[in-house]
């Protein structure tokens, strides 16, 4: 106990208040282990006897529409070349058949920004609101300072 009493500047002894956190940490670790072991056991399921049908499952994984523009400014929809003037008509027909269609624009990086903006505007005019740009995830086409 000699280390727990301090003397103030006036010479009177004062008690040093320290909290030992080791028991607190021990209790918290034990509680953590208890909860980690008991959590998977707490999942309960309701036993249900589902009815049998002959219907097929719904195919929800629709493929997105890929609109490609190569360096020669040729436009392709899902690898089928189309004429530049017929782009909006094709997109409107696709949007009418699939209102929730997603369009991914896959364009060559050497193309001017204005051309890509025009294509994106045509997609928007065709009432397609989900548009994304495809990039190279490897990052080899990074800008140089």
SS3 126: coil
SS3 118: helix
**0.75 cut: is pTM over it?**
no
Two tokens, residue 66: 């890929």
pLDDT digits (tens, 9 = 90+) for 29-78: 999 999 998 887 776 666 666 677 776 665 555 677 888 888 888 888 88
Helix axes 113-125, 87-97, angle to 10 degrees: 40
Every domain of the chain and the residues it spans: 2-37, 65-133
Report the CATH architecture of 65-133: 2-Layer Sandwich (3.30)
pLDDT digits (tens, 9 = 90+) for 2-22: 555 566 666 666 677 788 899
């Amino acid at each position: 106990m000699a280390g727990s009493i301090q003397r103030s500047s006036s010479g009177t002894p004062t008690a040093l208040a320290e909290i030992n956190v080791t028991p607190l940490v021990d209790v918290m670790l034990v509680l953590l282990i208890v909860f980690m072991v008991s959590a998977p056991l707490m999942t309960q399921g309701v036993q249900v006897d589902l009815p049998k049908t002959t219907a097929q499952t719904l195919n929800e994984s629709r493929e997105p529409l890929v609109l490609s523009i190569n360096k020669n400014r040729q436009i392709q929809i899902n690898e089928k070349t189309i004429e530049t003037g017929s782009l909006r008509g094709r997109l409107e027909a696709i949007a009418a058949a699939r209102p929730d269609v997603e369009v991914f624009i896959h364009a060559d990086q050497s193309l001017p920004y204005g051309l890509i903006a025009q294509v994106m505007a045509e997609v928007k005019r065709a009432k397609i609101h989900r548009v994304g740009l495809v990039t190279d995830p490897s990052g080899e086409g990074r800008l140089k300072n």
